[in-house]
Structure 1
Amino acid sequence: MSTQPVAAPAKLDGAVLKIAGVVVLGAIMSILDITVVSVALPTFQTEFGATYAEVAWTMTGYTLALATVIPLTGWAADRFGTKRLYMTALLLFTLGSVLCATADSIGQLIGYRVLQGLGGGMLMPLGMTIMTKAAGPERIGRLMAVLGVPMLLGPIGGPILGGWLIDAASWHWIFLINLPIGVIALVYAQIVLPKDSPEPSESFDFIGMLMLSPGLALFLYGVSSLPETGTMSATKVWVPMLAGALLVIGFVFYSFKPQHPLLDLRLLRNRNLTVASVTLAVFTVAFMGAGLLFPSYFLQIRGESTLDAGLLMAPQGLGAMVTMPIAGMLADKVPVGRTVPFALLLIAAGFFAFTQVGTDTSYLLLCGSLFVMGLGMGGTMMPIMTAALRTLTNNEVARGSTLLNILQQIAGSIGTAIMSVILTNQLNQSPAIPGVTNPVSGEPVSEAGLAIAAVQDPSVGQQFPDPSVLERGLQFAADSFATTFMVGFVLTLLTLIPAFFLPRKRQAASLESEGAATPVILH
């Protein structure tokens, strides 16, 4: 008896939406946690009597744990099954969150954040794998739009939630809030996710693990140290970056030898996956790096509270909410090469306003620009991922998801470091105030540094009777932000180059379903 091609329903049915609900819960915890913690760094400095460099490791440690565990996810999903592994990741993340809330020292908090990262690193690639298998190739676009909600709204909701929890309760609650969400997600996953069908025959690539995981961790450690040192020549930066890069390059050459490598770079023979990966990486460097500086502008130049800065970022999320469902449906019907470039132009148009920011730029203009950027974001990231995963077979999805997540993690870290260094170097060019030194470090205080401190604490500015010093310093600081945003704007435009090579014709979807159904040709 011959098997006829079976087309899945055009819409996402209840069973698929239930599975999507589990994945979105996990993604919300993982992504929100990164941005919620970022607004708590000053609080950690006060609570633990630590320096900024020390508390920044609560972010860096989490990132390094993500980078270490993501490469293992593809193999582990095949070996143990996605349901079992996803629930283990949820448990690790939730346990790490509770332990973070009990930390008595900055060292303990960093250690518990690493445990959190081990769980969080598996949630996104596993979630993408679970959802892609559940929906089938013809509905990947709609499903990616669902998963895109936490990915795009997390950076906006995080500062709002973090600011509110710290003001209304204490810093402990930015971690404790994950406990009820984690318990609900675990119960939900046990009920809804389909039973595993692991493939125990596949061997584990120990040699690959010994090269790739430490290589990524070392490289990202060096990159993460760049904003602190401000120069590539610092030993703390170039030594781990070089060692990590050599290990990763060694893995690239080695990975084509074993039958089941830790990270399957053979997938890059798929042109659509390669083009989508390059586009996603360039976009992440450009936007995620500069995107983290938007709240900083509102905090340091305009003197807004953490909560208000988060609320001012909300238009971006609203814009993404408008276009994301539309982009998801279009991605299943229209080649992404015809839609993504227009979305990138929207992002660039919104970005341009931030290249002109000053000390009193209209909030109406900036919020409107963020809304336009959000419209573009909703039509960019998820359609690119759709193009990457659509033509992979069922057995390749876990590996493809892992590859995309590693690229995104590396690109995000590089983008953040680049933008932070550019901004810091711009601010450091501000003239020093004669005879004024930092009481802690003993270094001269610049006009821009004093102005930013005075914005956040007016009593600082009252010590200087000459208001022109603060005015000059604040204007210099605003110009520094504008210069940094210009770099992000140019990088966003450069994303159009790889985006031009995204699929511009209808594709045959190659994702095989779990049963005997054959792939369906999109039309």
Structure 2
Amino acid sequence: MSYRYKVASIFLLGFFVDCINIFMSAVALPSLSITLHVSSASVAWVANAYILGLTLIIPVSTWLAGRFGSRGILTASMLLFTASVWLCGQADSFHELVGWRFLQGIGGGLLIPVGQALMFNLFQGEQRAKMSTLVMAVALIAPAISPTVGGIIVDSSSWRWVFYSNIPFSLMAAGLSWFWIREAKSASLPRPDIKGLLLVSAALASLLLGMSLYGADYPAAAALSGVATGLIFVALYLLHYRRCSHAIIELNLLKSKKLSDSIYVYYAIPGVFTGVNLMAVFFLQNTLQFSARLTGTFMIVYAAGAFIAMTISGRVYNRVGARRLFTLGMLLHSAGIATLMLVEAPGDRWIIVIAYSLMGIGGGIGANTAQTTSLMDFAGGDTHKASVIWNLNRQMSFSLGAALFLMIFNVLLKYLDITAAYHATFALAALIGLLPLLRMRPLNPAKESP
């Protein structure tokens, strides 16, 4: 195997670990909520803490790789991930679990941007598009397998084994990183922007906290103050960015239409889907009394539709163009979410299958197109910087999507019965998933990009 394919294998394995960690743990949240005696709004912090860890470390991951070497950083990241996963399974309290999830996010956040930048700098032009398709294939295989496996684990054993099951994969990624990655350190490196990093992390933490509190059993003032504080930190970062020559997030790269439009679409499709799927998990298990195993199997339907769509969209990308594929993906994805509004009883399984099929097809088209398009304007060092933005966006979209729709559901639950509240949440999600259509701009086809 050539060196560049070894690098690609390590990144894809690490990406797989990251994906199964997100989707396998989601199916366990209802059981975890009951065991640890926390509300559905609070249990979302099992995911939020992981995202905050990622947010803290992703922006400095490139600097750490340059300072200490890619091989050492990639190996250390997966060893830290392994240790924290074990500690998550050992947690005896909710707050303890949240703390270890934060540490787990730090471990996962080191591998993804460093591995992706290494891989994309070894594959250029149309080969980069092919590697993007492989990345999305992993992003589909993991959600297809992990919820079903996670459901079986929860039904037959304990939510703790949902975390333990990550360990073989993370240890494999650590070993391959140590033996396969060629060591390379930069001769001179600018100091990392710690102030900017703290501002970004504080902004995300405050926004997530505000959305988690709003609609739950907390005063509205506390929730609004959290959101307001988050917006203040965003404004402070914008001021800091203008004065800093090496800002932690290089916002100037967002002038790339390919990157910025891909980010909007990623929030509208994978981001919205993460929130919708989380709500569907609680709806199917707690309201319709489906088992965790049965709930997880619907993701196989999603992945099958997404795989077919991804394969076709990857082949026609250069001829059709990103804008048309983005539009089609969002329309189909939102149609699938809207179909969930028709689910009323346990016997409506075929409606759920249709809904997840449409979401899978739309999601496969939109997410694959976004992954392919996002970094096409960049090369060399800019690829690392753009990779940081892209991976922060990818992870934040998952967490913000979950927090947003949990907040919406909790607010609606005060005025509607539980089934109607779920249906209204799905309706709003379908509309939110179409918002990028209002600002979609023409994008040059991939073959015109460097």
| TM-score, with length taken from structure 1 | 0.78
SS at match of 1:503: coil
- Counterpart of 1:111 in structure 2 is 99
Alpha carbons of structure 1 residues 28 and 506: separation in structure 2 relative to 1, 3 Å: closer
Note if 1:21 corresponds to 2:12: no
Counterparts of 2:164 and 2:341, CA distance in 1 = 38
Alpha carbons of structure 1 residues 481 and 131: separation in structure 2 relative to 1, 3 Å: same
- Counterpart of 2:449 in structure 1 is 509
- Counterpart of 2:333 in structure 1 is 347
SS at match of 2:20: helix
After the TM superposition, which segments of 4 or more aligned residues of structure 1 sit over 6 Å from their partners? none
Paired amino acid for 1:223: M
Counterparts of 1:219 and 1:35, CA distance in 2 = 22
SS at match of 2:434: helix
Deviations for 1:410-467, whole angstroms, at most 9, x for unmatched residues? 333332223222222333324xxxxxxxxxxxxxxxxx4xxxxxxxxxxxxxxxxxxx
Counterparts of 2:116 and 2:212, CA distance in 1 = 27
Residue 436 of structure 2, aligned match among 467, 491, 495: 495
- Counterpart of 1:482 in structure 2 is 423
Query: Contact 1:80–1:199 at 8 Å: present in 2 too?
Result: no
Counterparts of 1:329 and 1:82, CA distance in 2 = 33
Residue 256 of structure 1, aligned match among 229, 234, 242: 242
Instruction: After superposing the two structures, state which structure 1 stretch, 104-113 or 384-393, moved more.
Output: 104-113
- Counterpart of 2:370 in structure 1 is 384
Note if 1:134 corresponds to 2:122: yes
Alpha carbons of structure 1 residues 109 and 480: separation in structure 2 relative to 1, 3 Å: closer
SS at match of 2:242: coil
Alignment of 1:83-162 (within 5 A): 83-162=71-150
Displacement of 1:47 after TM fit? 4.8
Deviations for 1:17-71, whole angstroms, at most 9, x for unmatched residues? 4333222221222222233333334444555566666655433322322222222
Deviations for 1:462-505, whole angstroms, at most 9, x for unmatched residues? xxxxxxxxxxxxxxx3332222111111122223233x315144
Alignment of 1:229-308 (within 5 A): 229=217, 233-235=220-222, 237-308=223-294
Query: Contact 1:143–1:328 at 8 Å: present in 2 too?
Result: no
What do you get for the CA RMSD once the two structures are aligned? Answer: 2.8
Query: Contact 1:389–1:401 at 8 Å: present in 2 too?
Result: yes
Alignment of 1:366-381 (within 5 A): 366-381=352-367
Alpha carbons of structure 1 residues 263 and 172: separation in structure 2 relative to 1, 3 Å: same
Counterparts of 1:191 and 1:96, CA distance in 2 = 23
Displacement of 1:134 after TM fit? 2.4
- Counterpart of 1:325 in structure 2 is 311
Residue 337 of structure 1, aligned match among 306, 323, 340: 323
Deviations for 1:158-209, whole angstroms, at most 9, x for unmatched residues? 3322221233333332222222212211112223334324353322223323
Query: Contact 1:272–1:502 at 8 Å: present in 2 too?
Result: no
Query: Contact 1:343–1:375 at 8 Å: present in 2 too?
Result: yes
Counterparts of 1:294 and 1:132, CA distance in 2 = 35
Counterparts of 2:39 and 2:339, CA distance in 1 = 34
Counterparts of 2:422 and 2:303, CA distance in 1 = 22
Instruction: After superposing the two structures, state which structure 1 stretch, 260-269 or 349-358, moved more.
Output: 349-358
| TM-score, with length taken from structure 2 | 0.89
Query: Contact 1:316–1:375 at 8 Å: present in 2 too?
Result: yes
Alpha carbons of structure 1 residues 370 and 171: separation in structure 2 relative to 1, 3 Å: closer
Instruction: After superposing the two structures, state which structure 1 stretch, 70-79 or 49-58, moved more.
Output: 49-58
Residue 31 of structure 1, aligned match among 8, 11, 19: 19
Note if 1:225 corresponds to 2:166: no
Residue 393 of structure 1, aligned match among 371, 379, 395: 379
SS at match of 1:380: helix
Paired amino acid for 1:415: G
- Counterpart of 2:298 in structure 1 is 312
Residue 201 of structure 2, aligned match among 177, 198, 213: 213
Query: Contact 1:69–1:213 at 8 Å: present in 2 too?
Result: no
Structure 2: gaps spanning 5 or more residues: none
SS at match of 1:119: helix
- Counterpart of 2:409 in structure 1 is 423
- Counterpart of 2:172 in structure 1 is 184
Query: Contact 1:60–1:224 at 8 Å: present in 2 too?
Result: no
Alpha carbons of structure 1 residues 194 and 158: separation in structure 2 relative to 1, 3 Å: same
Query: Contact 2:318–2:446 at 8 Å: present in 1 too?
Result: no
Query: Contact 1:284–1:412 at 8 Å: present in 2 too?
Result: yes
Query: Contact 2:339–2:354 at 8 Å: present in 1 too?
Result: no
